[in-house]
């Protein structure tokens, strides 16, 4: 239970890594058990690309 090598882990200790793993697994389980409507991959990607493009345009305006 010592310090972890930053080359191999984003966490400083085994405890932090284990706590994150436990949290992440709970999030995945909750998502899989959810009854919310699913969003198709293509729609998620289109939304993400629109957000990225919006920020690119904003950055371009700042740079002009």
Each residue of 5-26: pLDDT tens digit?
777 788 888 888 899 999 999 9
Statement: residue 49 has pLDDT above 90: yes
Q: Which residues, at least 6 apart from 9, have a Cβ–Cβ distance to it below 8 Å?
A: 17
Say if residues 13 and 22 touch (Cβ distance below 8 Å): no
Name the band, by pLDDT with cuts 50, 70 and 90, for residue 60.
very high
């Amino acid at each position: 239970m010592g310090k972890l090598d930053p080359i191999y882990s984003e966490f400083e200790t085994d405890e932090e890594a284990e706590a994150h793993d436990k949290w992440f697994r709970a999030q995945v389980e909750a998502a899989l058990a959810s009854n919310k409507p699913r969003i198709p991959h293509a729609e998620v990607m289109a939304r993400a690309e629109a957000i990225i493009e919006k920020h690119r345009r904003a950055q371009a305006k700042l740079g002009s």
